[in-house]
Structure 1
Amino acid sequence: MNDPRAATRTNVTWRGAVQVTSGKIVPAKIINFSASGIQLQCTVALKEKQTYQMMMEVPSIGDASRRTQVVCKATCIYSILSGDEYRAGMKYFDVQEQHLKLLASWHG
């Protein structure tokens, strides 16, 4: 079976958060990551085609105890119920320049 995605996904277990409305931030678990997208789990259904402010806590490749909070924006591509949580595919962008190298180290 071929994966039609343009970028290879890496399975991860990162903490994150999504601002779902002004003043309401929900925790998220990043479960896979690529050069342009992530899949996350959270307790609320994200709206497809909506852009959210979010944060990913990204560990250093060489030292997992060193984590950086990477703030970005992400547009929801899909959101589906999976058990008692939702899985959402997100296309992230607007990453601060100083965090691009860290993210690149995870996807080559």
Structure 2
Amino acid sequence: MIELRKSPRVTVTWRSGIKMPDGRLIFTKVINISAEGVLLQSPENLVPLRSYPMMIEIPGIAQASDIYKVSCKGTVRHVILSGDSYNVGMLLSEMSELHAQLVVAWISKTAHLG
């Protein structure tokens, strides 16, 4: 199968959370990431084209035990019901340059392992 995406995806298992418009925090899991976005599993359906404040826990490159709590916004691109959860594709924005570089480092590290 030929990959037609702009950016390579890296399979991960990272904890994340999304702040809902009513103020609740829902816990989600990032299952893959690229330089532009994430695919995550959510217990709740999210609204396409809506932006949500979110946080992603990203392990350090040198020390996986170093966890970076990355604040950003995620804009929902698509939602697919999968079993008892939703797979949600999100475009990331409002991430610090340092954290964006951490994501790029993870993608680069994984590309060299594959």
TM-score of the pair, normalised by structure 2? 0.89
Mapped partners of 1:37, 1:80: distance in 2: 16
What is the aligned partner in structure 1 of residue 89 from structure 2?
89
Q: Percent identity?
A: 38
What is the aligned partner in structure 1 of residue 41 from structure 2?
41
What is the aligned partner in structure 2 of residue 14 from structure 1?
14
Matched residue type, 1:89: G
What is the aligned partner in structure 1 of residue 30 from structure 2?
30
Q: Partner of 1:21: helix, strand, or coil?
A: coil
Q: Which has the higher strand share?
A: 1
What is the aligned partner in structure 2 of residue 57 from structure 1?
57
Q: Which has the higher helix share?
A: 2
Mapped partners of 2:56, 2:65: distance in 1: 15
Matched residue type, 1:96: S
Identify unmatched segments of 5+ residues in structure 2: 109-114
Matched residue type, 1:5: R
- Please state how far the C-alpha of 1:22 moved relative to its aligned partner: 3.5
- Please state how far the C-alpha of 1:37 moved relative to its aligned partner: 1.1
Mapped partners of 2:46, 2:3: distance in 1: 24
- Please state how far the C-alpha of 1:2 moved relative to its aligned partner: 1.7
Mapped partners of 2:52, 2:61: distance in 1: 26
Mapped partners of 2:29, 2:70: distance in 1: 14
Mapped partners of 1:3, 1:67: distance in 2: 30
Identify unmatched segments of 5+ residues in structure 1: none
Mapped partners of 1:23, 1:37: distance in 2: 23
- Please state how far the C-alpha of 1:96 moved relative to its aligned partner: 1.7
What is the aligned partner in structure 1 of residue 99 from structure 2?
99
Q: Tell me if the contact between 2:35 and 2:100 (Cα under 8 Å) persists in the aligned partners.
A: no
Number of equivalenced pairs: 108
